[in-house]
Amino acid sequence: VGVAFFRNSATLRRSFASSRLLRQGACNHFVSQASENTNPADADAKFRLAVKDNIATIGLPTQCASGVLGAHPSPFEATIVEQLRARGASVVGKTNMDEFGMGSYSTNSVHGPVSNPLSADEQLSAGGSSGGSAVAVQLGDADIALGTDTGGSVRLPAAYTGVVGYKPSYGLLSRFGVVPYANSLDTVGILAKDASAIQDVVFKTGLHMEHDPSDPTSLTAETRKRCARASPAQLAPLHNVTIGIPAEYNIEELEPAVRDAWAATAAKMEAQGARIVSVSLPSTREALCAYYVLAPAEASSNLAKYDGVRYGVRSENGDAAGDTLYSEARGSGFGEEVRRRILLGTYSLSSEAIDNYFIQAQKVRRRVQQDFDKVFSLENPLYEPRQFDLSEMSADLELADKRGPVQVDFLLCPTAPTFPPTLKDLETKSSVDAYTMDVFTVPASLAGLPAVSVPVWPEDSRLPVGMQLIAQYWDDQRLLSMAAKLE
């Protein structure tokens, strides 16, 4: 339904006339590309930037791979795109994705699935939802690509395609002009061939210190300064670095070759002097369920505005007098997975279910955050330093209890439990199968922590394995330095 709808849209034909469509490209990773006309001032550009199609750009439509947005021309540009243009970026195109960021394989798109350039006989998934951005970097069509990471959407495609994918601390990069999926989790992430390219663009240029007044969740300048004072920017020599291996991530479903790559990476770091210790994050098990309650709940509220009146393409079959205007626009404009999420979210927020689902999931989220705070040796700089006061000792005291577990600088685990599936296999998989791919990425998202996926290439494997490093809040700079050591 989505595809037919998309092709019939007159608005779409008009607005796309100014941009060159690369719909038939082998990997289907671009949905529109910049032409001479749309990028006139980029003669002295320093790097080529690909932008996920849920991030607003001037000159190219912003459609979130959804039929409901037709060829929506954004009247303004996302702050992150402006910031990168000011640093020499030339926007080469908008990239294909899962509709509104909902998916793990970049198959839920009105433009059709993205395929992985590492495919051999059979087409492999590029991972999602920022699959098009990962492929643009993998193929060298862009030096840097922007994605969004709500529960793993930058890290998972990075792992599947063999590039580096960085999800920053929540609030570090501006989300103004990024179409919201689940606001309390959404971050803008960056993909590149290596971690140092990301470090250059975010930290060397001072992007990490820039507050955006247009984004209410952007960290204030003052908080940034306080965080910067509290966290070391430089990575110590490896013999002073402790890396934690979270025991709960060693799940039954983990593919043996991925487990081997994880062990080999830990051994390599140990050989270079790092201390490797086992740690426990007991709430990890519940994190995935909590995520799939919270994210759809926020999404159902965010997506209410696409009704064919405020936003979105109005369906020809809709009838305002007969009360079908909204339902026709939403029913024909949204794809199946997005409709499923709206229903899930609406249910878990309903008065009958909110206590058992939404409220419980928020409690799990809090426990996941506390688990991380216990294992990291750095304090979370967002918390005000508190004097210990016995009178505060009550049952719900929420100070991180640092006794017991060994404290670490970083956590190391795989990004995904398996290698990329084939697009053919995905045709018969359920949406719950797709949700399980996010088991290792959602905990850092729930806690707002920075995380990066780095490809490692096992000797006898044709495909890379994504290794994920997670760090304490605002420890992004050291995280990327550590990521560079894994490469």
Q: Catalytic site residues?
A: 52, 129, 153
Closest CA to 12 of 304, 313, 310: 313
Q: Which helix (H) or strand (E) holds 301?
A: helix 284-302
Tell whether residue 149 is a contact of ligand GLN (CB under 6 A): yes
Identity of the residue numbered 230: A
Least distance between ligand GLN and beta carbon 345 (Å):
11
Least distance between ligand GLN and beta carbon 150 (Å):
4
Give the range of 72-80, 150-158, 172-180, 358-366 binding ligand GLN by CB under 6 A.
150-158
Least distance between ligand GLN and beta carbon 294 (Å):
10
Q: CA 95 to CA 89: how far, in whole Å?
A: 16
Tell whether residue 99 is a contact of ligand GLN (CB under 6 A): no
Q: Report CA-CA distances (Å) from 10 to 5, 13, 90, 316, 402.
A: 10, 5, 29, 12, 60
Tell whether residue 298 is a contact of ligand GLN (CB under 6 A): no
Q: CA 19 to CA 355: how far, in whole Å?
A: 48
Q: Where are the alpha helices (DSSP H) in 39-108?
A: 79-86
Tell whether residue 129 is a contact of ligand GLN (CB under 6 A): yes
Among 152, 335, 414, 417, interactor with ligand GLN by CB under 6 A: 152
Tell whether residue 127 is a contact of ligand GLN (CB under 6 A): no
Least distance between ligand GLN and beta carbon 43 (Å):
34
Give the range of 84-92, 142-150, 257-265, 346-354 binding ligand GLN by CB under 6 A.
142-150
Among 163, 243, 254, 295, interactor with ligand GLN by CB under 6 A: 295
Supply the DSSP string of 183-210, one letter for each residue. TTT-EEEEEESSHHHHHIIIIITTGGG-
Q: Which residues contact 332 (CB under 8 A, 6 or more apart)?
A: 1, 2, 5, 67, 315, 317
Tell whether residue 101 is a contact of ligand GLN (CB under 6 A): yes
Give the range of 144-152, 197-205, 212-220, 375-383 binding ligand GLN by CB under 6 A.
144-152
Among 38, 66, 123, 148, interactor with ligand GLN by CB under 6 A: 148
Residue nearest ligand GLN, Cβ-based:
153
Do 124 and 321 form a contact (C-beta atoms < 8 A)? Answer: no
| Number of Cβ atoms within 10 Å of the Cβ of 119 | 17
Among 83, 150, 369, 472, interactor with ligand GLN by CB under 6 A: 150
Q: Report CA-CA distances (Å) from 169 to 92, 114, 292, 470.
A: 26, 27, 20, 10
Least distance between ligand GLN and beta carbon 437 (Å):
7
Give the range of 60-68, 151-159, 168-176, 319-327 binding ligand GLN by CB under 6 A.
151-159
Q: Which two tokens stand for residue 377?
A: 């040796």
Place of tokens 């240029």: 205
Least distance between ligand GLN and beta carbon 52 (Å):
10
Tell whether residue 302 is a contact of ligand GLN (CB under 6 A): no
- β pairing state of 451-456 and 465-471: antiparallel
Cα Rg of the chain (Å, integer): 22
Binding positions for ligand GLN, 167-186, rule CB under 6 A: 181
Number of residues that bind ligand GLN (CB under 6 A): 14
Give the range of 149-157, 278-286, 307-315, 459-467 binding ligand GLN by CB under 6 A.
149-157
Q: Report CA-CA distances (Å) from 181 to 52, 184, 271, 418.
A: 13, 9, 42, 26
Burial call 85-118: b when 16+ CB within 10 Å, e when fewer: bebebbbbbbbbbbbbbbbbbbbbbbbebbbbbb
Q: Closest CB to ligand GLN among 84 and 295?
A: 295
Give the range of 147-155, 245-253, 347-355, 364-372 binding ligand GLN by CB under 6 A.
147-155
Binding mask 379-418 for ligand GLN (x = CB under 6 A): ----------------------------------------
Binding positions for ligand GLN, 422-481, rule CB under 6 A: 438
Tell whether residue 151 is a contact of ligand GLN (CB under 6 A): yes
Closest CA to 292 of 471, 125, 467, 441: 441
Do 303 and 450 form a contact (C-beta atoms < 8 A)? Answer: no
Chain residues in the site for ligand GLN (CB under 6 A): 101-104, 129, 148-153, 181, 295, 438
